[in-house]
Amino acid sequence: MSDSSSWAAIRAELSGPAGLNMGWAAADRHVALGHGEAPALRWVGRDGAERTLTYADLAEHSSRFADALRRLGVRRGETVFTLLPRVPDLVVALLGTLKAGCVAAPLYAAFGPEPLRLRLALGRARAVVTTAALWRRKGPLDVPHALIAGGDAPEGTHDLAALLGAADPQVPVAPTGPDDPALLHFTSGTTGAPKGALTAHDAVVAQVASARAALDLRPGDVYWCTADPGWVTGTVYGVLAPLACGATVVLDEGDFDTARWYGLIERQRVAVWYSTPTAIRLLMRAGDDLPRRFDLTSLRHLASVGEPLNPEAVLWSRRTLGRPFHDTWWQTETGSIMLANRDATPGVLGAPLPGIGAEVWRPDAEGVGELVLRPPWPSLFRGYLDDPARTAACFAEGWYRTGDLVRRGADGLFRFVGRADDVIKASGHRIGPFEVESVLLEHPAVAEAGVIGKPDPVAGEIVKAFVALKPGVAWSDALAAELLGHARRRLGPALAPKEIAVAPSLPHTRSGKILRRLLKARELGLPEGDLSTLEDGAG
Ligand code: WT7
């Protein structure tokens, strides 16, 4: 079977009476096939409480959600944000938004008020689904409708449970086609504010194909993705793809905890597990004895994503968990997994999935070049919101440019080398230095700020800031703590710098941009490289 015909076959398989709709494909389709009573979602609460929702439950609740949006006057194509902990209402809101023909934009609950306000404004939010506690904690957010999950709706907001109770449990799904917009995820580059990457309903075709090919996901599998649905991995591979595949999705409200995690695999009989190198390194650090106390024999396939997977992690998981972690590579803009390491050779990123063309673009003498992919494929983003110039800049000579550096071994398989730009990957989260620098610059003591990813043995990278102070301001431990506190309040713990240092001035290019690469080279004690673009006398 050729690849485009297998995409065509999956597209036909996932399409319903109203066309191709991600929300319908993930929930109602299974009901239509007679599998409505199969468990779709197994929610595990922070305190260990459990709740199971069947596919029929998800279809009904998400219909009610879609109808509630309509009653509020939210129309097709408009954007509905979620800002929620990992609770079933998050899944209901996501699927219901898609079934209403609206665009679903997930936000991470650990974002501070600044990144939230920026994203809600950029995405022209018509509604946000959140909790009373988050609504109060994040301060006033500018959005026409706030739908409050879990009760205690503050004045001026809507109680989600009441809206769902009054809504139609079987409202028809909005007719959508493969090219209608479905998901909006914000992502960061080197310069400028975060950009909203739009993907269309057709993405579910490649998401299902890749979940089968790279995650070995089969109907009925108990599946756990540890990523929060506030990030693209958690939306796509934590909710949409596994549901569309007919798996049982484990949704854990709790935070990372080694014994809790092993206990969850044992108790839920998890077969397929998708996690990150940072989480694996945390498990490794807790030692080999702990996992031996649990029955982990249900595990059939382990996969990892988001940052380089070190070979030790693959060897460790093979030895300790009985299965190796398989690396997978993708990014927000690609919409689904593009490369996967099928036999889990340590240190290897892998090969392109069927239908995906990949090349090393303009390799240097060592064979290192940019990873480029041949468009189109079903989940390729349809552009950055309101930014055609930036969208166009991602494409050259018939390729989509990923911004990652790779090389190919004699075996033809790809190896990850690094980012071609200044994007930071902290615990697998993509962080744009500009967003962090902008918040530091708000502080009256700061004249200039430059932010880099500093290598870290567990998190891969941590965010480190360098600042130059305004004339007359003296550096002190108290000022350092104040700046870190300011950044944390504004940005939230996910984006805020962990370390800060002062410099008399920061190095610039001739065009005035901060040379973050030089800051990083100095931090690491590396050669400073070609400084010909350095501004005279700076640094
Ligand atoms: C960037 C994309 C996590 C995927 C979805 C989030 C880096 C991704 C790997 C990997 C080394 C990786 C790349 C990529 N990345 N997977 N297996 N090995 N680096 O996507 O937030 O848009 O981040 O994550 O640099 O470009 P994202």
pLDDT attached to residue 189: 80
Is the pLDDT at 537 greater than 70? The verdict is no
The 3-state DSSP composition of the chain as helix, strand, coil percent (nearest 5) reads: 35, 25, 40
In angstroms, the CA 217 to CA 212 distance is 5
Instruction: Give the pLDDT mean for 352-361.
Output: 98
Kindly give the number of the ligand 1 atom that is closest to the alpha carbon of 430. Answer: 21
* Count of other CB atoms within 10 angstroms of residue 142: 9
What is the pLDDT averaged over residues 482-496? Answer: 97
d(Cα 57, Cα 38) in Å, to the nearest integer? 10
More confident residue, 54 or 504: 54
pLDDT tens, position by position, 425-471: 999 999 999 999 999 999 999 999 999 999 999 999 999 999 999 99
What pLDDT, on a 0 to 100 scale, did the predictor assign at position 5?
A: 67
Q: What are phi and psi of 406, to 5 degrees?
A: -140, 170
Q: Which of 347, 277, 286, 348 is nearest to 320 (CA)?
A: 286
pLDDT score, position 531:
60
pLDDT recorded at residue 188: 87
End-to-end CA gap in the chain: 58
CA–CA gap between residue 305 and residue 216 (Å, rounded)? 15
pLDDT, residue 87, reads 98
Q: DSSP code of 518?
A: H
Residue owning tokens 């552009």: 383
The sign of the CA dihedral 424, 427, 428, 430 is negative
Q: Whose CA is nearest to atom 20 of ligand 1?
A: 331
Give the 3-state secondary structure of residue 269.
coil
Q: Which amino acid is at 82?
A: T
Q: What is the pLDDT of residue 509?
A: 85
Tokens read off for 116:
């939230």
Round to whole Å and give the CA distance between 433 and 422.
7
Q: Identify which of 280, 307, 384, 402 to mutate to test ligand 1's pocket (most ligand atoms within 8 A of the CB).
A: 307
Residue 530 has pLDDT above 70, yes or no: no
pLDDT of res. 536: 42
Please check the confidence at residue 90 and state whether its pLDDT lies above 70. yes
Mean pLDDT of the residues in the chain = 95
Query: Over pLDDT 90: what percentage of the chain?
Result: 92
Instruction: State the pLDDT at residue 512.
Output: 83
Ligand 1: residue whose CA is nearest its atom 1: 331
The pair of structure tokens assigned to 201 is: 């309903």
Q: Is residue 51 scored above 80 in pLDDT?
A: yes
Q: Which two tokens stand for residue 358?
A: 């990949």
pLDDT at 139: 84
- pLDDT at 2 (0 to 100): 46
CA–CA dist 221, 40 (Å, integer): 10
> Region 130-136: what's the mean pLDDT?
97
Query: What single letter denotes the amino acid at residue 220?
Result: G
pLDDT of residue 193: 87
Cα–ligand 1 centroid distance for 518 (angstroms): 23
Q: Residue range 369-389: average pLDDT?
A: 97
pLDDT per residue over 212-267, tens digit each?
Answer: 999 999 999 999 999 999 999 999 999 999 999 999 999 999 999 999 999 999 99
Query: What homologous superfamily is domain 422-535 in, according to CATH?
Result: ANL, C-terminal domain (3.30.300.30)
Dump pLDDT digits (tens) for 268-306: 999 999 999 999 999 999 999 999 999 999 999 999 999
Residue 527 confidence class, pLDDT cut points 50, 70, 90? confident
* Residue type, position 273, single letter: W
Backbone angles phi, psi at 72, to 5 degrees: -80, -5
Residue ranges of alpha helices (H) inside 123-276 are 132-137, 160-165, 203-215, 232-235, 241-244, 258-268
| Residues in the ligand 1 pocket, defined by CB under 6 Å | 187, 232-233, 305-309, 327-332, 349, 402-404, 416, 419, 425, 428, 430
- Whether the CA torsion 413, 417, 421, 426 is positive or negative: it is positive
If one compares 498 and 188, the residue with the highest pLDDT of the two is 498
Give yes or no on whether 3-408 and 422-535 have one common fold.
no
CA atoms within 13 A on the CB side of 457: 5
pTM of the model as a whole: 0.95
Q: What are the DSSP calls for 434-493, one per residue?
A: HHHHHHHHTSTTEEEEEEEEEEETTTEEEEEEEEEEPTTPPP-HHHHHHHHHHHHHHH-T
Domain 3-408: give its CATH superfamily.
ANL, N-terminal domain (3.40.50.12780)
Q: Report pLDDT for 4.
A: 64
Q: Are 471 and 448 in contact (CB under 8 A)?
A: no
Q: Whose CA is nearest to atom 21 of ligand 1?
A: 430
Whether the per-residue pLDDT at 190 is higher than 80: the answer is no
Which pair of tokens denotes residue 300? Answer: 């059939």
Q: What is the pLDDT of residues 314-325, one digit of tens each?
A: 999 999 999 999
Atom of ligand 1 nearest to the CA of 333: 22
| Residue 192 binned pLDDT confidence (cut-offs 50, 70, 90) | confident
pLDDT of 18 reads 87
Average pLDDT over residues 79-90: 98
Tell me the average pLDDT across 373-400: 97
What residue ranges do the domains of the chain occupy? Answer: 3-408, 422-535
- Residue at token pair 């650090």: 285
Helix (H, G, I), strand (E, B) or coil at 8: helix
Which tokens is 378 given? 């079903």
pLDDT in tens, 415-436: 999 999 999 999 999 999 999 9
Closest ligand 1 atom number to CA of residue 429: 21
Output the CA torsion 329→332→334→340 (10° steps): 10
**Overall average pLDDT of the 389-396 stretch:** 97
For the segment 361-374, what is each residue's pLDDT rounded down to a tens digit? 999 999 999 999 99
- State the pLDDT confidence band at 1, using cuts at 50, 70 and 90: very low
- How many angstroms separate the most distant Cα atoms in the chain? 73
Q: Are 465 and 523 in contact (CB under 8 A)?
A: no
* Of 409, 278, 394, the residue nearest 334 (C-alpha): 394
Ligand 1 centroid to residue 529 C-alpha, Å: 26
Rounded-to-integer distance, Cα 341 and Cα 348, Å: 7
Tell the residue number behind the tokens 């028809």, with chain if given. Answer: 172
434 in Cβ contact with 469 (< 8 Å) = no
Can you tell me which residue has the tokens 């994007």? 423
Average pLDDT over residues 65-91: 98
How many angstroms separate the CA atoms of 215 and 197, rounded?
A: 24
Q: How far is the CA of 298 from the centre of ligand 1 (A)?
A: 28
Structure tokens at 347: 């240190």
Query: Distance from the CA of 60 to the center of ligand 1, in angstroms?
Result: 34
Which of 198, 239, 305 has most ligand 1 atoms within 8 Å of its beta carbon, as the pocket-test mutant?
A: 305
Q: Return the closest-CA partner of residue 105 out of 226, 205, 230.
A: 230
